[in-house]
């Protein structure tokens, strides 16, 4: 079946619905056949034969993979922060080791690791799993780790009105481990501090101790 130019296929292969909560601001649905054509081009450009047996299904497979890896482009992470509870809890809420996989926007190579999120509520508390949902949505976009870290922190500030937010992301970038300077095992750590964790050194030390307690 394969071997036909992907450009000849019908154009019914768009996937991904606009998330209702994004009010149409999200990018258009993923154009699978366009990715397929591009992947064929890349294979040809590196000197491969896109029509050899082992590569026949590759463009379609890669297209579906990109659609999956970039679902966060068509989703608004704020929707996971809309259902909060009103609680008179004024201690730090911390979720550690939220694992994620993302894609570095400079090389389109994966980077993966964990996020630690702490916040000091201002009356609004959300279910702990929602923090993982937010990380999931934000990471499933072409990303840089620094922006991903800040995006998560700013979302918690704006949606929960938290008194303080601390986000620490630790990740391994395959663009550093398999190419370029090739440093396997190197870990990139970024942090974003908001509110009291930014303005008060003692509060920041406290949340960092909570995050790294017993670890280092």
Q: Is 38 in the site for Zn ion (CB under 5 A)?
A: no
- CB closer to Zn ion, 82 vs 179: 179
Min dist. Cβ of residue 140 to Zn ion (A): 16
**Nearest-angstrom CA–CA distance, 67 and 111:** 17
Residue 182 to residues 126, 134, 170, 176, 192: CA-CA distances in angstroms?
Answer: 40, 31, 18, 5, 27
- CB closer to Zn ion, 107 vs 124: 107
Min dist. Cβ of residue 105 to Zn ion (A): 8
Interface stretch with Zn ion, choices 36-44, 48-56, 73-81, 100-108 (CB under 5 A):
100-108
Query: Strands, E, within the chain: which ranges?
Result: 14-15, 30-31, 84-86, 93-104, 109-120, 124-126, 142-143, 164-173, 188-195
Selected from 35, 63, 104, 148, the binder of Zn ion by CB under 5 A is: 104
How many residues make contact with Zn ion (CB under 5 A)? 4
**Is 107 known to be catalytic?**
yes
Tokens at 51, concatenated: 């029509």
Interface stretch with Zn ion, choices 50-58, 63-71, 99-107, 187-195 (CB under 5 A):
99-107
**Is 104 known to be catalytic?**
yes
Site for Zn ion in 52-81 (CB under 5 A): none
Task: Spell out a b/e string for 109-134, using b for 16 or more CB atoms within 10 Å of the CB, else e.
Answer: ebbebebbbbbbbeebbbeeebbbbb
**Is 106 known to be catalytic?**
yes
Min dist. Cβ of residue 106 to Zn ion (A): 4
Q: Is 195 left (phi over 0), alpha (psi -120 to 50) or beta?
A: left
User: Contact at 8 Å (CB) between 188 and 172?
Assistant: yes
- CB closer to Zn ion, 72 vs 121: 72
What three-state secondary structure class fits 27? coil
**Is 116 known to be catalytic?**
no
For residue 137, which of 209, 71, 206, 60 has the smallest C-alpha distance? 71
Tokens at 172, concatenated: 């391994």
Min dist. Cβ of residue 88 to Zn ion (A): 44
Interface pattern 166-195 for Zn ion (x via CB under 5 A) = ---------x--------------------
What residues make contact with Zn ion under the rule CB under 5 A? Answer: 104, 106-107, 175
What positions carry a catalytic annotation? 104-107, 145, 173, 175
């Amino acid at each position: 079946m394969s071997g036909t130019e992907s450009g000849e296929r019908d154009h019914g292969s768009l996937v991904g619905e606009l998330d209702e909560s994004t009010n149409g601001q999200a990018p258009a649905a993923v154009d699978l056949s366009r990715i397929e054509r591009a992947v064929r081009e890349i294979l040809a450009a590196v000197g491969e034969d896109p029509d050899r047996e082992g590569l026949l299904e590759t463009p379609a497979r890669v297209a579906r993979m990109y659609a999956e890896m970039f679902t966060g482009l068509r989703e608004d992470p704020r929707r996971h922060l809309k259902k909060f509870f009103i609680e008179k809890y004024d201690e730090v809420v911390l979720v550690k080791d939220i694992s994620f996989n993302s894609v570095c926007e400079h090389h389109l190579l994966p980077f993966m690791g964990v996020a630690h999120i702490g916040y000091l509520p201002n009356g609004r508390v959300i279910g702990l799993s929602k923090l993982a949902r937010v990380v999931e949505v934000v990471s499933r976009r072409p990303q840089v780790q620094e922006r991903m870290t800040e995006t998560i922190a700013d979302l918690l500030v704006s949606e929960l009105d938290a008194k303080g937010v601390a986000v620490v992301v630790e990740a391994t970038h395959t663009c550093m481990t398999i190419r370029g300077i090739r440093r396997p095992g190197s870990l990139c750590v970024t942090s974003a501090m908001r509110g009291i964790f930014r303005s008060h050194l003692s509060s920041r030390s406290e949340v960092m101790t909570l995050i790294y307690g017993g670890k280092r």
